[in-house]
Structure 1
Amino acid sequence: MRSENKPDGQKTFIEEARRAQIIAATIEVLAEAGFAGASLAAIAKHAGISKGVISYHFAGKNELMEEVVEQVYTRIAEHVVSRMQSGTTARELLRTHILAVAGHMRDNRVQVKALGEIFTNLRDAKGGLRYGMHTDEVLYQGLETIYQWGQENGEFRPFDRRVMAITHNAAVNAMFAYWVMTPGHDLDAHANELADLFERAVT
């Protein structure tokens, strides 16, 4: 006997699949053509759908770009958290955070390029950059939690946790920016060197 809920369930699944398709196409177009070239028409063509399909799911380019950032950051967080769960010391968590982020993005280079295009081009209603230090508070707080634990259990020396979190985040961002700009740069070696640097800085 057919379930009465099946049609709604199918519709939800289809809509989610379509949104995922649009997000994937957007990331690829951003990486290939840049922000200016990532028009809704170009994204639709790349995805093999009509521009109207994108407009059905997203109110406009800005909303689509924000969803790309949300989706990519969610995937990064899931990967990093899964790697950090086995950590038993603050020092391990600090190192794992840097290496796990690098490991995930190494396998998703187009996502790094797409994020870079969005971060340097997407504007808010007032004309300012939509993303930047003013939107990184959650990241800072997460890093501060690691540093606080290390200070409280005696692993880390006293220091200003906010300053260290800002420096940590900026260093990771710079690592990815250099990796995208410089073909052949060894991201894993860079990440290991960065982890060594921060371990020495906090202990």
Structure 2
Amino acid sequence: MQPKSGSGELTFTEVGRRRQIVAAAIETIAEVGYTGASFAQIAKRAGLSSPGLISYHFADKDELIGQVVAEIYGTGGAQIRLRSDQASSSTDAVLSFVAGSIAFYDSHRAHMRALIQILNGHPQARERWVDQANSAELDGIEQVLAQGQRDGEFRGDLVPRVAAVVIRDLLSGALQRLLTTPGLDVAAYTGELVTFCRRAISGSADA
């Protein structure tokens, strides 16, 4: 059998099988790490009769990993965007992004563990699959902060790009805390972080 990647439009069955393999890869990488996630282990978790079925759908491990990263970012983006799109102000948009990000981390822990394992295990993961998405996300936060500043919602001395980086760094720290602290009160942690961000960016002294 030859890999179907790049061979044209996929059938419904092929799309379903690829999704099945990607889901199994996420769970496997989250559990055993990037280097330990062999096709044999992924195939077993996916319920496939042979690792060769993965090679039929993906040209090599790099193509599969690229799809794994795309799935993680796509799933997270869709969930978080739903919150931000419903925001009535720039303040609500920023705080919804913060709360939505942590909610996604919490509900998709295997996804986030898998992403961390890929970043730690693949020498070109950042430049090939992650940097562009992260840059676009940072640009989006900056744009909302700049709009809120123009509208008078945020501090006049706020530096939107720097504030966006700080928010992104805070969320990275929140992810690490969530994954390494059993029994973490996620709701309380989220509430404090949202309050911290609101007070840090607000143009009001009593925010």
Pairwise CA distance, 1:104: 2.3
The residue identity in structure 1 corresponding to 2:199 is R
Helix, strand or coil for the counterpart of 1:71? Answer: helix
CA gap of 1:183–1:196, structure 2 versus 1, over 3 A, is same
1:156 to 146, 154, 162: 154
Counterpart in 2 of 1:87?
Answer: 87
Counterpart in 2 of 1:29?
Answer: 28
CA gap of 1:85–1:131, structure 2 versus 1, over 3 A, is closer
**Retained in 2: the 8 A contact 1:119–1:131?**
no
**Retained in 2: the 8 A contact 1:35–1:118?**
yes
Structure 2 residues without counterparts, runs of 5 or longer: 1-7, 203-207
User: In 2, distance between residues paired with 1:69 and 1:87?
Assistant: 27
The residue identity in structure 1 corresponding to 2:180 is M
Pairwise CA distance, 1:114: 1.0
Instruction: Provide Cα deviations, 1:3-37, integer angstroms capped at 9, x if missing partner.
Output: xxxxx99x621011001100110011112111221
The residue identity in structure 1 corresponding to 2:37 is A
Structure 1 residues without counterparts, runs of 5 or longer: 1-7
1:38 aligns with 2:37: yes
Counterpart in 1 of 2:177?
Answer: 178
1:189 aligns with 2:183: no
**Retained in 2: the 8 A contact 1:122–1:130?**
no
User: In 1, distance between residues paired with 2:165 and 2:128?
Assistant: 18
Counterpart in 2 of 1:4?
Answer: none
Helix, strand or coil for the counterpart of 1:185? Answer: coil
Counterpart in 2 of 1:113?
Answer: 113
Counterpart in 2 of 1:3?
Answer: none
Helix, strand or coil for the counterpart of 2:33? Answer: helix
The residue identity in structure 2 corresponding to 1:148 is A
Instruction: Provide Cα deviations, 1:73-110, integer angstroms capped at 9, x if missing partner.
Output: 11111111111222111111111111112222222211
Counterpart in 1 of 2:4?
Answer: none
1:146 aligns with 2:144: yes
Identical positions, percent: 33
Helix, strand or coil for the counterpart of 1:136? Answer: helix
**Retained in 2: the 8 A contact 1:41–1:51?**
yes
**Retained in 1: the 8 A contact 2:39–2:54?**
yes
The residue identity in structure 1 corresponding to 2:151 is N
- Aligned residue pairs: how many? 193
Pairwise CA distance, 1:187: 2.2
**Mean Cα deviation higher: 131-140 or 75-84:** 131-140
Q: What is the CA RMSD across the aligned residues, in angstroms? A: 2.2
Pairwise CA distance, 1:180: 0.8
Counterpart in 2 of 1:104?
Answer: 104
**Retained in 1: the 8 A contact 2:66–2:129?**
no
The residue identity in structure 1 corresponding to 2:27 is E
- Give the TM-score normalised by the residue count of structure 2: 0.85
1:65 aligns with 2:65: yes
User: In 2, distance between residues paired with 1:13 and 1:77?
Assistant: 24
- Give the TM-score normalised by the residue count of structure 1: 0.86
Q: How does 1:121-140 map to 2 (within 5 A)?
A: 121-124=121-124, 136-140=134-138
The residue identity in structure 2 corresponding to 1:106 is D
